[in-house]
């Protein structure tokens, strides 16, 4: 105790005071510090909650948006393979921990994309006349030509009441079964033929009031200011009581060939690639069954419909089918509406198509024949016919058809209601085997699949119900088959007619369809107008140049002018070779592109969103981080060089696209092999350069997860080097994890 007191004396007292004061100061300091730490933590926590909320909001928005998904939202499932999740879990935490800047960038990108989408989805103003706008999803069965599938197969199709119903497709010989990617447009496939006996299939009740309502609504909204009366559609048919009721094939019935004449059938088949032998025995003015829905005969049309020129182009058409086509128009069209029939002879080689044809047709004052001095192909032949046509409406038909009762007025009625309406009949089937006339299933429309392959698809029963459709209502048609349609003559020219650079056959139906829809018009299939057509397995005439190249070139012209950024999808579906200028010269497109600009046509995206929304068209095959299984890291591009980093969904250097042209790209830069094929470089993307194409997830590939260099004849793959974490090219090894890659999001296989 004494000792302690001694310490408190003199200088010791001062020292003790200083000590106690410092202890108190220290304690106070600690208390203040603790207080500010907890405030700071609270702030951090708040920020994190806000960020997470924002992420969730975007997630909700983006899930509604089919075509655009942020990698951030898929990180748990897509970026990281299940077995590797642990390895990168710290990265996920890091993303959340990272400050706002990069995060904001990502946000604004997402917002921008989202608002773009919203704008482009604004539907065009509905015309009251049109009861059938595309406001319901169309889940449909699609029949596209696919030569790799034996066409004798039985395809099932949804019937109106949703049951599966067998639909029998006609047999086609195996010789037509060719490489699918090269033969897309070889022939047009028949639409499904109606089965005559479908017990239990619900028949839709026709609603006459619907039509009358439509007609009066249409009239109110018509661009035509004339006032006219209406009348019931004329069911004119000169062949109603045929000359020879017992003739072969009469009434559109199947004609049977006696067995001892089968050799003759075979011998003459190639003249038209159908049963020419039978056709020649069937009356050129035979009667056919009226295949229209019953209500059609009671439909009203306007009294002052425009007149039409019917244009048939032909090259080496079979005599009897050409005549039957012409007779069917003469016999079943109201004479006051039929201005003329123009036969355009596209430099045929057959003698009977010269003087004999002139002589035969001279008995019909309405028939004019124009002869082309050299082979032009059907597209320029149609242009030649249109150039001399005098009717207000042009009606194009193939030269092996049979127009049915009441076919013309419903087509002209559409044009009358709005000159930008282009109307197509339902194309019934005339059998190439027995020449019977067959009714096709209702509710069919023309569509395309990549790479611009025409096909038929059935409207879904949901769509039919939602739009309260009857079998007689016009059907919006994204793509017309091509050969059979009516169009206002002046409007045809306003649209720039056909691209005259299209050769011989193929692709012009895509061109005119995109042009019509994108430049303010519409295409409808009119179920009350029926025309039979002989669908053939092959074109019976010669192509001046290679057939396949001709069609490919036509399609490439269409793609270049009309498809915008979607042309990558066209080339990406088996047409990469067309990008090489030395392989194909598509010719000059300036005029076509100028035309599109002059007409201020809408974008192809608009067309897809508004006319054919059921078509799923992702612009990329895959996108996001490029994760390497072996390294468990992601590819990164910094200062033009590739390396690996811990995966970071917000890191822009790690974002890559895998395109339809098979590029692994970031903006305009593509991953490409080094000249000597051992290492990798980054270079400007060049769509014509096959060296920049990588196969990844390609169907039937034994190396689906690899990046296989397409260009190289040996299997060479992109590989991450284990130790150096560099990239190199190496012979492909199926099991090597270092050669396996995964994008965050895949949009297509």
Residues that bind Mn ion (CB under 5 A): 398
Q: Which does 626 bind (CB under 5 to 8 A by kind): Mn ion, ligand LR7, none?
A: none
How far, in Å, CA of 421 to CA of 486, rounded?
Answer: 9
Contact call for residue 553 and ligand LR7 (CB under 6 A)? no
Q: What is the DSSP string of 691-710?
A: GG-EE-S-TT-S-TTS-EES
Binding mask 354-383 for ligand LR7 (x = CB under 6 A): -----------------------xx--x--
| Distance of closest approach, residue 505 Cβ to ligand LR7, in angstroms | 4
- Where does 379-521 show beta strands of DSSP type E? 393-397, 401-403, 421-430, 437-438, 444-449, 453-458, 475-476, 485-488
Nearer to ligand LR7, 106 or 143 (CB): 143
Q: Which does 187 bind (CB under 5 to 8 A by kind): Mn ion, ligand LR7, none?
A: ligand LR7
Site of tokens 């069954």: 289
- Long-range contacts made by residues 249-252, C-beta under 8 angstroms, separation at least 24? 249/278, 249/281, 249/282, 249/283, 249/286, 249/435, 249/436, 250/282, 250/283, 250/286, 250/287, 251/286, 251/287, 251/288, 251/289, 252/286, 252/287, 252/288, 252/289, 252/402, 252/436, 252/437, 252/532
Helix, strand, or coil here: 56? helix
| Distance of closest approach, residue 150 Cβ to ligand LR7, in angstroms | 19
Q: Which residues of 305-330 are buried (b: 16+ CB within 10 A; e: fewer)?
A: bbebbbbbbbbbbbbbbbbbbbbbbb
Positive/negative CA dihedral, 34, 39, 42, 44: negative
Question: Of these, 478, 482, 532, 572, which contacts ligand LR7 (CB under 6 A)?
Answer: 482
| Distance of closest approach, residue 376 Cβ to ligand LR7, in angstroms | 7
| Distance of closest approach, residue 186 Cβ to ligand LR7, in angstroms | 8
Contact call for residue 437 and ligand LR7 (CB under 6 A)? no
Q: Which does 249 bind (CB under 5 to 8 A by kind): Mn ion, ligand LR7, none?
A: none
Alpha helices per DSSP H over 485-628: 489-494, 508-518, 547-562, 567-572, 590-598, 604-610
User: Taking contact as CB under 6 A, which single stretch among the options 30-38, 164-172, 307-315, 575-583 is the one that binds ligand LR7?
Assistant: 307-315
| Distance of closest approach, residue 533 Cβ to Mn ion, in angstroms | 6
Binding mask 514-533 for ligand LR7 (x = CB under 6 A): -------------------x
How many residues bind ligand LR7, per CB under 6 A?
25
| Distance of closest approach, residue 175 Cβ to ligand LR7, in angstroms | 16
201 CB-near residues (< 8 Å, 6+ apart): 159, 160, 161, 163, 165
Question: Of these, 253, 275, 399, 628, which contacts ligand LR7 (CB under 6 A)?
Answer: 399
Pairing of strands 393-397, 308-314: parallel
Contact call for residue 481 and ligand LR7 (CB under 6 A)? yes
| Distance of closest approach, residue 246 Cβ to ligand LR7, in angstroms | 30
Quick one: 521 exposed, middle or buried, by C-beta within 10 A (0-12, 13-18, 19+)?
buried
Among 443, 439, 436, CA closest to 458: 443
Question: Of these, 463, 505, 607, 747, which contacts ligand LR7 (CB under 6 A)?
Answer: 505
| Distance of closest approach, residue 579 Cβ to ligand LR7, in angstroms | 23
Contact call for residue 398 and ligand LR7 (CB under 6 A)? yes
User: Taking contact as CB under 6 A, which single stretch among the options 14-22, 172-180, 211-219, 475-483 is the one that binds ligand LR7?
Assistant: 475-483
CA 523 from centroid of its chain's CA atoms: 15
Question: Of these, 484, 497, 622, 625, which contacts ligand LR7 (CB under 6 A)?
Answer: 484
Binding mask 254-293 for ligand LR7 (x = CB under 6 A): ----------------------------------------
Q: Which does 502 bind (CB under 5 to 8 A by kind): ligand LR7, Mn ion, none?
A: none
**Cis omega (within 30 of 0) on the bond before 687?**
no
Longest dimension (CA), the chain: 149
Kindly tell me the number of DSSP H helices and DSSP E strands found in the chain: 18, 29
Q: Which does 410 bind (CB under 5 to 8 A by kind): Mn ion, ligand LR7, none?
A: none
Nearer to Mn ion, 239 or 399 (CB): 399
Q: Are 293 and 442 in contact (CB under 8 A)?
A: yes
Contact call for residue 557 and ligand LR7 (CB under 6 A)? no
CA 570 from centroid of its chain's CA atoms: 9
Q: Which does 381 bind (CB under 5 to 8 A by kind): Mn ion, ligand LR7, none?
A: ligand LR7
Nearer to ligand LR7, 70 or 509 (CB): 509
How far, in Å, CA of 540 to CA of 315, rounded?
Answer: 9
Q: What is the DSSP string of 480-524?
A: --SSSEEEEHHHHHHTT-S-TT--BSSSHHHHHHHHHHHTT-EEE
Nearer to ligand LR7, 533 or 596 (CB): 533
| Distance of closest approach, residue 509 Cβ to ligand LR7, in angstroms | 5
| Distance of closest approach, residue 145 Cβ to ligand LR7, in angstroms | 9
Nearer to ligand LR7, 477 or 519 (CB): 477
Nearer to ligand LR7, 484 or 709 (CB): 484
| Distance of closest approach, residue 388 Cβ to Mn ion, in angstroms | 22
Alpha helices per DSSP H over 65-180: 85-97, 100-120
Site for ligand LR7, residues 314 to 343, rule: CB under 6 A: 314-315, 317
For the beta carbon of residue 36, count every other beta carbon within 10 angstroms.
Answer: 9
Nearer to ligand LR7, 82 or 374 (CB): 374
How far, in Å, CA of 454 to CA of 144, rounded?
Answer: 6
> Applying CB under 6 A, which residues contact ligand LR7?
187-188, 313-315, 317, 346, 377-378, 381, 398-399, 427, 481-484, 504-506, 508-509, 533, 539, 541
């Amino acid at each position: 105790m004494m000792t302690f007191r001694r310490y408190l004396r003199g200088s010791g007292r001062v020292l003790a005071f200083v000590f106690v004061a410092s202890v108190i100061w220290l304690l106070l300091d600690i208390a203040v510090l603790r207080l500010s730490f907890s405030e700071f933590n609270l702030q951090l926590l708040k920020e994190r909650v806000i960020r997470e909320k924002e992420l969730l909001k975007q997630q909700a928005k983006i899930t509604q948006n089919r075509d655009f998904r942020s990698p951030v939202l898929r990180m748990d499932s897509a970026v990281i393979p299940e077995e590797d999740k642990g390895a990168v879990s710290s990265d996920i935490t890091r993303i959340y921990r990272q400050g706002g800047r990069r995060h904001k960038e990502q946000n604004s990108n997402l917002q921008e994309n989202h608002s773009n989408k919203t704008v482009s989805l604004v539907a065009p103003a509905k015309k009251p006349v049109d009861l059938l706008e595309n406001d319901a999803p169309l889940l449909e069965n699609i029949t596209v030509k696919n030569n790799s599938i034996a066409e004798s197969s039985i395809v099932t199709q949804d019937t109106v009441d949703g049951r599966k119903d067998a639909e029998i497709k006609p047999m086609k010989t195996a010789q037509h079964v060719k490489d699918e990617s090269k033969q897309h447009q070889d022939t047009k496939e028949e639409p499904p033929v109606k089965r005559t006996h479908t017990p239990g299939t619900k028949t839709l009740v026709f609603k006459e009031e619907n039509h009358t309502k439509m007609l009066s609504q249409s009239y109110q909204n018509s661009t035509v200011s004339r006032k006219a009366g209406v009348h019931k559609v004329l069911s004119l048919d000169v062949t109603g009581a045929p000359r020879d009721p017992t003739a072969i094939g009469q009434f559109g019935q199947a004609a049977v060939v006696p067995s001892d004449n089968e050799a003759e059938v075979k011998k003459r088949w190639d003249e038209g690639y159908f049963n020419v032998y039978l056709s020649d025995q069937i009356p050129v003015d035979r009667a056919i069954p009226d295949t229209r829905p019953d209500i059609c005969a009671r439909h009203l049309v306007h009294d002052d419909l425009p007149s039409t020129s019917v244009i048939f182009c032909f090259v080496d058409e079979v005599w009897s089918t050409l005549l039957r086509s012409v007779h069917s128009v003469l016999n079943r069209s109201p004479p006051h509406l039929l201005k003329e029939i123009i036969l355009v002879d596209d430099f045929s080689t057959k003698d009977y198509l010269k003087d004999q044809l002139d002589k035969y047709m001279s008995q019909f004052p309405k028939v004019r024949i124009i002869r082309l001095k050299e082979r032009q192909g059907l597209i320029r032949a149609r242009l030649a016919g249109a150039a001399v046509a005098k009717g207000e409406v042009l009606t194009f038909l193939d030269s092996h058809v049979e127009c049915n009762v009441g076919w013309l007025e419903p087509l002209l009625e559409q044009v009358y209601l709005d000159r930008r309406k282009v109307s197509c009949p339902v194309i019934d089937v005339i059998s190439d085997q027995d020449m019977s006339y067959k009714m096709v299933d209702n509710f069919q429309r023309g569509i395309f699949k990549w790479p611009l392959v025409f096909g038929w698809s059935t409207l879904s029963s949901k769509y039919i119900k939602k739009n309260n459709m009857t079998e007689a209502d016009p059907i919006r048609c994204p793509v017309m088959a091509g050969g059979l349609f009516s169009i206002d003559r002046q409007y045809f020219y306003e649209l720039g007619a056909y691209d005259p650079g299209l050769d011989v056959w193929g692709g012009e139906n895509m061109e005119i369809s995109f042009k019509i829809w994108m430049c303010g018009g519409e295409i409808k299939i009119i179920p009350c107008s029926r025309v039979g057509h002989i669908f053939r397995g092959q074109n019976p005439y010669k192509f001046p140049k290679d057939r396949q190249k001709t069609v490919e070139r036509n399609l490439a012209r269409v793609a270049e002018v009309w498809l915008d950024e979607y042309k990558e999808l066209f080339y990406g579906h088996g047409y990469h070779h067309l990008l090489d200028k030395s392989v194909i010269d598509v010719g000059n497109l300036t005029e076509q592109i100028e035309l599109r600009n002059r007409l201020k046509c809408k974008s192809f995206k608009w067309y897809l969103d508004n006319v054919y929304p059921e078509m799923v068209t992702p612009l990329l095959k895959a996108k996001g981080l490029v994760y390497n299984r072996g390294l468990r890291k992601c590819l990164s591009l910094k200062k033009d060089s590739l390396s690996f980093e811990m995966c970071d969904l917000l890191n822009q250097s790690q974002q890559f696209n895998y395109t339809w042209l098979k590029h692994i790209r970031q903006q305009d830069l593509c991953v490409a092999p080094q000249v000597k094929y051992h290492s990798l470089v980054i270079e400007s993307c060049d769509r014509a350069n096959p060296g920049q194409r990588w196969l990844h997830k390609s169907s039937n590939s034994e190396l689906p997860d690899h990046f296989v260099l397409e260009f190289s004849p040996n299997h060479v793959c992109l590989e991450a080097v284990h130790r150096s974490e560099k990239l190199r090219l190496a012979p492909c090894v199926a099991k090597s994890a270092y050669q396996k890659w995964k994008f965050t999001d895949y949009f297509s296989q």
